Amino acid sequence: MVHGAQDGPLIVVAAALIRDDRVLVQERPAGKALAGLWEFPGGKVEAGETCEAALVRELSEELGIALGSEALAPHSFVTGTAGDRPLLLLLYVATEWAGEAHALEASALCWANYADLCALPMPPADVPLVAALRPLLA
């Protein structure tokens, strides 16, 4: 994507969906950047969208689950790079939503405890997010 020097970082929102002391992660499908790596569901905030509205949209598109913005609790963030662009990744936690999560875009889903999460290959930016989730996971 072409972007100008006036552009700020790429803002990406992601969710730690927690159930029974496990968190949902998904495998990025073949054909996408970072294919085969596991990530928290989410995606880029589009122009004019709030961060929470973007995440509600992404969770519906990627997993088929529904929740309101108020169900998203801000949790942690990291900075990094996405290709040649600075990245700001905001992680929210949610414990309540409607519907069962299905891999509508990912190639697989995993309800991971902390050890599982540490063993899965994830994008480098996610490492501090995983550490920050430690107290919430079995």
The conformation of residue 10, written as its DSSP 8-state character, comes to: E
Secondary structure class of 33 (helix, strand, coil):
coil
Q: How many residues bind ligand 8GT (CB under 6 A)?
A: 14
**Site stretch for ligand 8GT (CB under 6 A), options 37-45, 68-76, 92-100, 110-118:** 37-45
89 is a site residue for ligand 8GT (CB under 6 A)? yes
What is the closest distance, in whole angstroms, from the C-beta atom of residue 83 to ligand 8GT in the complex? Answer: 7
| Closest CB 79 distance from ligand 8GT, rounded Å | 10
The closest alpha carbon to 13, from 94, 98, 79, 92, belongs to 92
Rounded to a whole number of angstroms, the distance between the first and last alpha carbons of the chain is 39
From CA 30, how far away is CA 33, in angstroms rounded?
Answer: 8
- Catalog residues that contact ligand 8GT under the rule CB under 6 A: 12, 14, 33-34, 39-40, 42-44, 82, 89, 123, 125-126
